[in-house]
Amino acid sequence: MVTVQEAKQLIRENSQKLDPVEIPLIQAAGLILAQDFIAPIDIPSFPQSGMDGYAFAFDSYKPGSHLEIIGEMAAGVHEMLEIPAGKAVRIFTGAPVPNGTDTVVMQEKTSRKDQFLSINFPEMKKGDNVRPKGSEIGKNALALPKGSLLSPAALGFLAGMGATNVWVYPAPSIALLVTGNELQQPGKPLAYGQVYESNSIAIQAALQKIGLSLQKIYTVHDSLEQLTNVLNEAIDQHDLILLTGGISVGDYDFTLPATESCKVEQLFHKISQKPGKPIYAGKKGRKIVLALPGNPASVLTCFYEYVTEAVSVLMQKNIRPEIKIVPAAGPFTKKAALAFFLKGYYDGELLHFLPAQESYKLNSFAQANCLVFLPAESIGVEKGDQVEIHLIQ
């Protein structure tokens, strides 16, 4: 049996980042850039007006004089004008600043009579309202370094340089094997001794919140032969394989022998924690296998604490719950033996311990927005004590 910290370290050390792939820009939101992106052009690629107004050569203008307006420049105009000294051109935001001019005065600071312009802005400076060529990014400069999160703004930035594809660390292909003869699908009548299967819904929803999905869900009866066959198929086709149930040592718990039959290398089996003590981790080549206990609260707890560790390495993106240290609103007592992950609610100031902490209960988990971590050596907390919470919503 390993500690919480040892288990997380083993998962991190034995997970490998996925090979980069090139995908269309529009499909890359939320992924991590797998190589430096070098700017192929200057942005802007020409001196550009930052205002609607008038462009002119600053040194040719004398305060109190007039400038003759001899044309206009709109955004998207391809023909470049050459503007003589002492002349001005009407210009619009985003338009190229004509040759012979270096300053744009905003139209609100001017008055116009016929074709002559007066400027009413003594604070004006040379270069005002002109975006120089390459002022956002210069050609061949590092635009985004490897490891950058491809946010909407980052993707817009790349598109603005003409990019259509980008190299990223892909989302992992994830399979879920749901085991247990007692499970019935929601919507169907329950026979005596059956329970509705809920873990697949909870795991799918947890993955969706971090922008991922399950590629395959297998429903497996309590049969070593069937589980071995399905596990072999899942390992062959997916990067990360999750199992729920059957990982204890009962007569109908076949997950551990199935991993042995599939020649999965065991990293650990059992963590000194509550809930989720029987969790298993293994690997076969670059594939990671995580078997979670079947009780619903154990499944979700192990997802947030351990599945996120593996996924963070696979896609090179930190999706682990955010950790905060906050004061407790009330006491909680435990024995100094196992680490606890408790369902809690953080109201922005205080941490509240929720009732119904048993691993088979989801009613309190449905109200929780954090897991409270109490280390193995802890005997509990008093009101006002600082505690570690892991935000899950």
338: domain CATH number is 2.40.340.10
Number of H helices, E strands in the chain: 7, 29
Do 88 and 28 share a structural domain? no
- Does 332 lie in the same domain as 232? no
Q: Residue 78: pLDDT band by 50, 70, 90 thresholds?
A: confident
Kindly report the average pLDDT of the chain as a whole number.
Answer: 95
- Domain identity same for 9 and 32: no
| Last residue within a domain, chosen from 261, 296, 314 | 314
Range(s) of the domain holding residue 71: 48-131
Both 66 and 205 in a single domain?
no
Q: At residue 251, does pLDDT exceed 90?
A: no
| Domain final residue pick, 144, 169, 194 | 169
pLDDT for position 164: 98
What is the band of 98 on the pLDDT scale with cuts at 50, 70, 90? very high
pLDDT at residue 253, rounded to an integer: 83
Residues 65 and 159 in one domain: no
**324-350: pLDDT as tens digits:** 999 999 999 999 999 999 999 999 999
Q: How confident is the model at residue 180 (pLDDT cuts 50, 70, 90)?
A: confident
pLDDT reported for residue 284: 98
Do both 226 and 150 map to the same domain?
A: no
Do residues 111 and 139 both lie within one domain? no
What is the percent of the chain with per-residue pLDDT over 70, rounded to a whole number?
Answer: 99
Separation between Cα atoms, residue 307 and residue 192, nearest integer Å: 33
CATH number for position 33:
3.90.105.10
Joined tokens for residue 327: 């004061």
Tell me: pLDDT of 184 over 90: no
Task: Identify the band that residue 152 occupies on the pLDDT scale cut at 50, 70 and 90.
Answer: very high
For 23, 142, 155, 317, 337, the CA distances from 31, given in Å and listed in that order, are 11, 19, 10, 7, 40
List of residues 6+ apart from 178 with CB closer than 8 A: 197, 199, 200, 217, 218, 219, 220, 243, 244, 245
Q: How far is the C-alpha of 88 from the C-alpha of 104, rounded, in Å?
A: 9
**Whole-prediction pTM:** 0.90
- Per the CB < 8 A criterion, the answer to whether 54 and 104 are in contact is yes
One-letter amino acid of 294: G
Number of domains in the chain: 4
How far, in Å, CA of 55 to CA of 59, rounded?
A: 12
Q: Write down the pLDDT at residue 247.
A: 86
Closest-CA residue to 311 (of 213, 192, 178): 213
pLDDT higher than 90, residue 68? yes
pLDDT at 248: 78
State the pLDDT at residue 40: 98
Confidence (pLDDT) at 206: 97
One domain, residues 199 and 235? yes
Same structural domain, 161 and 179: no
**Together in a domain, 308 and 367:** no
Per-residue pLDDT for 45 more than 90? yes
Candidates 289, 323, 285; CA nearest to 306 is 289
- The per-residue pLDDT for 192 is 94
Task: Say yes or no to pLDDT of 130 above 90.
Answer: yes
- Region 289-297: mean pLDDT is 94
Kindly tell me if the per-residue pLDDT of 250 is higher than 80: no
278 and 212 housed in the same domain: yes
| CATH at residue 278 | 3.40.980.10
Share of residues in the chain with pLDDT > 90 (%): 92
pLDDT for the residue 84: 95
Q: Specify the CATH number for the domain of residue 96.
A: 2.170.190.11
Instruction: Give kind and range of the element (H or E) at residue 38.
Output: strand 37-38
Q: Specify the amino acid at residue 226.
A: Q
Examine the domain organization and report whether 182 and 298 are in the same domain.
yes
Domain boundary residue among 104, 131, 158? 131
